[in-house]
Amino acid sequence: MAGGASAQEASRVVSAAIDLGITFIDTARLYGTEEAVGLGVKGAEARSSSPPRPAPPAAVLVATGS
C-alpha cells in the first residue's frame, strides 16, 4: 500500500466499516488494496454470527476495475 496504511491496518478499517453498515467498497488493482479489502471482508464474515450486525457480509459489494 504505497505511502498509506499497512495492509493489516487497512483490513481492520474495512472490517470495521462493514460492522458499521458499509455495503459498497470500490477498489482496483491500481490502488493496490485488493488483498487488504479481501482480508477485511473475510474478517467481518468471521464475526458475522455475533449480533448486532447492521449489514451481513453477504450484502457487501466489492467493485473492482482495471
Handedness of CA 45, 25, 52, 16 (dihedral sign): positive
pLDDT of residue 49: 62
* pLDDT at residue 62 tops 70: yes
* pLDDT at residue 1 tops 70: no
Per-position b or e across 4-24, b if 16+ CB within 10 A of its CB:
eeebeebbbebbebbbeeeee
Hunting for cell 458499521 — which residue is that?
20
Please report which confidence band the pLDDT of residue 55 belongs to, taking 50, 70 and 90 as the band edges: low
SS3 64: strand
Residue 24, strand partner residues: 61
